[in-house]
Amino acid sequence: MLDHLSFEAPKPKIISGAKSDWELVIGLEVHAQVSSNAKLFSGASTTFGAEPNSNVAFVDAAMPGMLPVINEYCVEQAVRTGLGLKAEINLFSAFDRKNYFYPDLPQGYQISQLYHPIVGEGEIIVDMAPGVARRVRVERIHLEQDAGKSIHDMDPTMSFVDLNRTGVALMEIVSRPDIRGPEEAAAYVGKLRQILRYLGTCDGNMQNGNLRADVNVSICQPGAYEKFVETGDFSHLGTRCEIKNMNSMRFIQAAIEYEARRQIAIVEDGGKVDQETRLYDPDKGETRSMRSKEEAHDYRYFPCPDLLPLEIEQGWVDDIAATMPELPDGKKARFVREFGLSEYDASVLTADVGNADYFEAVLTVGNDGKLSANWVINELFGRLKKDDKDILESPVSPEQLGKIVGLIKKGDISGKIAKDLFEIVYTEGGDPEALVEERGMKQVTDMGAIEAAVDAVIAANPAQVEKAKQNPKLAGWFVGQVMKSTGGKANPAAVNELVLKKLAQ
Ligand code: ADP
Ligand code: MG
């Protein structure tokens, strides 16, 4: 899958009910917190984990007469995200009030964009396996404010509210109902998160709630979805339920699976699925009704009179487009093309932009794509995982690892010695080239020295020599002995060749 133009779409997931087979239809509304130091309409800080109610400007607390002022940087981040999803950027967009009451929403409304979102149609290519991917259409991205947090479990008689999050900028990224199974839904969120992190427009931290998804699920008979795609007529699809606020890939999958089976049981029993908003309970592994579905008119949306429509210039969009980083699909294709990596290795290395940058830095020193990839993926990632460390915390710098790769490539050290050297650099630090000299780790390529070592082992083991002459497979034992006597520093290929030659004499 070098260019994402040629891939095969995965088959939709089929769930067998008691009476027939069913397919799933899933659409996601992902809320991604914009990476920005200040909120969408105030200068208050967005720092996570601050003292409750310390990051609250008067406008966030909805003090009378306070007016919102749009944060240009947040708009830029939304535009950048739209460009990253190959989406249409709307030069004209506008903010609307979505009215509802909740204690963590002091304004009594959320400022959002219903009628004129800043970003229109785009797409995400969701990789399922090499050569297998699903194109999921993005319907829109709009900017809106986050709400605060109500805390009900700190005191038996009182509830608390923390407004630090109130007014923080969110991008709501709405997909078309193009996702056809739980694994695809998780892969979609994963790919979206990866792109956002590459763009630097959202940190993708799901644990902190900076990326969370509302998951819409319906079931239909095989064939119905194709009719929907052909006609655009939603009546071919089943009634959907929306599972709110999911911030774990594992729970997203479990919730979809549960929800589909629940709907199948209802329909096969002759009942009807009610369109409603549901919550997933991870302890029980089930979804339960939260409220019946509200429609746009329930919120009495109207244009926010405090804010002018947002008009941006094409020139500004072009400037942002000129500073776009290389994105995961492009980087992966380049790694395969330029460095001869397998698609699998390229996917692992580009999964996170930090990994990809590290690998490329190793490569500039080590000068061998495949060898560098092996060392980063197998040795370094393995070692970091053991210590529960991130790539940015790696005790071995890309330059150090690049030098180790370079030493192997030049034949100065064997792969086995390289592992010892890596461990020394990892735990003690130091310059790999100097260490190899100081500690006498250089591979012996001097044929005279190797021959002497081979002769010594042969002379000391006459009985083994007789056996090996009958059974050439035993030659490996001699190679092992020579490697041992030379402290692993002899060139294994040379040893092997000499052992075979001597045993044949
Ligand atoms: P609302 O804002 O009322 O939730 P939207 O039209 O914005 O409604 O749709 C929300 C999400 O639901 C979108 O991601 C859309 O793709 C998805 N969706 C719509 N119809 C279905 C369906 N029948 N099954 C599954 N998902 C659906
Ligand atoms: Mg919705």
Q: pLDDT tens digits for 343-377?
A: 999 999 999 999 999 999 999 999 999 999 999 99
**What is the rounded distance in angstroms from the CA atom of residue 143 to the CA atom of residue 146?**
10
Q: What Cα–Cα distance (Å) separates residue 59 from each residue in 40, 45, 55, 64? A: 11, 13, 11, 8
| Residue 178 CA, closest ligand 1 atom number | 16
Task: Give the number of whichever ligand sits closest to the CA of residue 177.
Answer: 1
- What would the DSSP string read from start to end of 345-398? HHHHHHSSHHHHHHHHHHHHHH--HHHHHHIIIIIIHHHHHHTT--GGG-SS-H
Residue whose CB lies within 8 A of the most ligand 1 atoms, among 100, 136, 216, for a mutation test: 216
Please tell me the distance between residue 28's alpha carbon and the centre of ligand 2 in angstroms: 9
CB atoms within 10 A of CB 413: 24
Pocket probe mutation, ligand 1, options 115, 142, 174, max atoms within 8 Å of Cβ:
174
Confidence tier at 1 by pLDDT (50, 70, 90): very low
Protein residues whose CB sits closer than 6 Å to any atom of ligand 1: 25-29, 174-177, 216-218, 234, 237-238, 240, 242
Instruction: Looking at the CA of residue 177, tell me the nearest atom of ligand 1.
Output: 16
Select from 257, 276, 197 the least CA-distant residue to 35.
197
The model's pTM:
0.87
Q: How do residues 104-141 score in pLDDT, each as one tens digit?
A: 999 999 999 999 999 999 999 999 988 899 999 999 99
Task: Give the number of other CB atoms < 10 A from CB of residue 330.
Answer: 14
Residue 71 has pLDDT above 70, yes or no: yes
pLDDT digits (tens, 9 = 90+) for 2-50: 455 578 999 999 999 999 999 999 999 999 999 999 999 999 999 999 9
Q: What ligand has the least distance to the C-alpha of 178?
A: 1
User: Residue 444 carries which DSSP code?
Assistant: B
DSSP string, 289-356: EEEEPPPGGGGT-EE-TTS--EE--HHHHHHHHHTPPPPHHHHHHHHHHHH---HHHHHHHHSSHHHH
Average pLDDT, the chain: 94
Lowest mean pLDDT among 38-52, 266-280, 455-469, 491-505: 491-505
In this structure, the number of other CB atoms found within 10 A of the CB of residue 8 comes to 12
Q: Whose CA is nearest to atom 15 of ligand 1?
A: 27
CA of 40 to the centre of ligand 1 (A): 26
Report residue 152: phi and psi, to 5°. Answer: -105, -5
Residue nearest atom 3 of ligand 1, based on CA coordinates? 295
Cα of 294 vs centre of ligand 1, distance in Å, is 12
Where do the structural domains in the chain lie, given as residue ranges?
7-320, 326-438, 447-504
Looking up tokens 């402290």, which residue turns up?
Answer: 487
The whole-angstrom distance between residue 158's C-alpha and the CA centroid of its chain comes to 39
Mutating to test ligand 1, I would choose from 26, 28, 29 the residue with most ligand atoms within 8 A of its C-beta, which is: 29
Quick one: what percent of the chain has pLDDT higher than 90? 85
The dotted CATH code for 447-504 is 1.10.10
Instruction: Quickly tell me which residue has 């094409």 as its tokens.
Output: 314
